[in-house]
Amino acid sequence: MDCIFCQIAAGELPAERVYEDEDTLAFPDLRPRAPHHLLVIPKRHLDSLAGARDEDWPAVAACLRTVAHVARTRGMDQAGYRVVANVGVDGGQTVNHLHWHVLGGRLMTWPPG
Ligand code: AMP
Ligand code: ZN
């Protein structure tokens, strides 16, 4: 398996496991773009939201639950935070394993670049 996020999920690549449950994992982004920058992934490989099928929505919901959970435990929920899922080439996705960025600790700008 040459997917780096599958390798992280399997414990074959190092990452601080900020939170995990049966279906999801949260870990810090290697190149943080904000004081708080976590990634949330489903442990089972999915390319992106673009290819999601009916059977994938429970994993998506589980990821969003983990997003809200880690935002709370890292104290981002009071001031607010941003959740981003880059999809495909135009979306700027560079790792083709579905993931959400959870960014906080500073004021975000809009629109994104
Ligand atoms: P995206 O560009 O939306 O596909 O996001 C991929 C993210 O994965 C980038 O923000 C990278 O910094 C991050 N990343 C790549 N490799 C690793 C790694 N081994 N551990 C943690 N984050 C990573
Ligand atoms: Zn994967």
- Residue 83 C-alpha to ligand 1 middle, in angstroms? 14
Separation of CA 78 and ligand 2 centre (Å): 32
Residues in contact with ligand 1 by the CB-under-6-Å rule are 4, 13, 15, 29-31, 39, 86, 92-95
Give the position, in ligand 1's atom list, of the atom nearest the Cα of 94: 4
pLDDT of residue 110: 97
Bridge-based pairing state of the strands 100-104 and 24-28: unpaired
DSSP per position, 10-38: TTSS-----EE-SSEEEEE-SS-SSSEEE
pLDDT at 113: 87
pLDDT confidence tier of residue 102, bands split at 50, 70 and 90: very high
Would residue 37 show up in a list of annotated catalytic residues for this protein? no
By residue count, the chain amounts to 113
Ligand 1, closest atom to CA 93? 4
Asked if residue 1 has pLDDT above 90, the reply is: no
Buried b (16+ CB within 10 A) or exposed e, 30-65: eeeebebbbbbbbbeebebbeeeeeeeeebbebbee
Domains of the chain: 4-104 (3.30.428.10)
